[in-house]
């Protein structure tokens, strides 16, 4: 069990939780979170927003009974963590774009911070898309070279793929598909990585609920991903 240090609302239906837990979470990984004994039955997969080895933070959207339970937790209470699970985003260098939509912005914070720490000469531009109230923009501005915010439109319209060596993205599948296709249509040479946020049950690859079709056959988002190359999923 991990002790909750902070759990606050950051925008309509979005909360940021920080818990005390020794961890080695990497950029792009996720945990299975649980704050109940029997019901709801399944734990909830939540991407890592930030980690410093002693604490780990989660940005989550309140969409049902499980995340409603998370929202109601108070500092000092405990939550069960299982993880970290999944693979990670690559430690890329050069001109890098990070594109997120909705709760898909969550893994991009740690990603931006780590890329700039590991490669100070790299340029990391963050593109955030929201259907409603923007959130945590100042936090992203502290770890990236630039932050572009799109509210109510299409964040994919704001990026010129030709300006980047690597593009990493997380969010609605249609957004990531459009972004990948834009790279193809414009002849951009950027390598694209996508984080697949499929519905999950076990988080360990046993139940096959999160299976997605790829060029090399069916893959489990929780075990073989969630990070995959864009061509493999959308090519």
- Among 164, 144, 158, 157, which residue's Cα sits nearest to residue 96? 164
| 36 shares a domain with 80 | yes
Verify that 126 and 59 share a domain, yes or no.
no
Q: CATH number of the domain that 15 lies in?
A: 2.40.30.10
Expressed as residue numbers, the domain containing 26 is 2-85
pLDDT band at 222, cuts 50/70/90? confident
Terminal C-alpha separation, the chain: 41
In a domain, 227, yes or no: no
pLDDT higher than threshold 80 for residue 38 = no
Residues 75 and 100 in one domain: no
Whether 111 and 169 share a structural domain: yes
Output the pTM of the full model: 0.95
For the chain, list the strands marked E by DSSP.
2-11, 14-20, 30-34, 44-51, 55-61, 78-85, 95-101, 123-130, 146-151, 166-170, 191-195, 211-214, 217-220, 227-229
Instruction: Report the C-alpha gap between 120 and 106 in whole angstroms.
Output: 22
Residues 71 and 121 reside in one and the same domain? no
Domains of the chain: total: 2
- 37 confidence band (pLDDT: 50, 70, 90): confident
Per-residue pLDDT tens digits for 130-155? 999 999 999 999 999 999 999 999 99
CATH number of the domain residue 108 falls in: 3.40.50.80
Which of 85, 119, 152 lies at the terminal end of a domain, its last residue?
Answer: 85
Q: Which single residue is written with the structure tokens 């249609």?
A: 174
Question: What's the CA angle centered on 27, arms 137 and 70, to 5 degrees?
Answer: 65
Same domain, 187 and 102: yes
Dihedral sign from CA coordinates of 215, 173, 86, 200: negative
Domain assignment of residue 185, yes or no: yes
The last residue of one of the domains, among 58, 85, 112, is 85
């Amino acid at each position: 069990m991990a002790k909750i240090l902070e759990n606050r609302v950051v925008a309509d239906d979005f909360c940021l939780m920080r818990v005390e837990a020794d961890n080695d979470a990497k950029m792009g990984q996720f945990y299975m979170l649980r704050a109940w004994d029997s019901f709801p039955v399944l734990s909830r997969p939540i991407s890592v927003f930030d980690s410093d080895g002693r604490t780990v933070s989660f940005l989550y959207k309140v969409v049902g009974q499980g995340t409603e339970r998370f929202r109601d937790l108070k500092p000092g209470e405990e939550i069960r963590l299982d993880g970290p699970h999944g693979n990670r985003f690559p430690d890329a260098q050069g001109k890098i774009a990070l594109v997120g939509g909705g709760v898909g912005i969550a893994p991009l914070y740690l990603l931006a911070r780590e890329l700039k720490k590991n490669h100070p000469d790299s340029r990391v531009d963050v593109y955030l898309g929201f259907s409603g109230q923007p959130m945590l923009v100042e936090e992203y501005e502290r770890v990236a070279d630039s932050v572009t915010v799109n509210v109510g439109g299409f964040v994919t319209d704001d990026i010129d793929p030709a300006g980047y060596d690597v593009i990493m993205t997380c969010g609605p599948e249609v957004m990531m598909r459009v972004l990948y296709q834009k790279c193809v249509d414009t002849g951009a040479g950027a390598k694209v990585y996508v984080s697949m946020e499929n519905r999950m049950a076990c988080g360990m690859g046993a139940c096959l609920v999160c299976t997605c079709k790829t060029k090399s056959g069916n893959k489990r988002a929780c075990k073989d991903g969630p990070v995959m190359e864009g061509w493999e999923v959308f090519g």
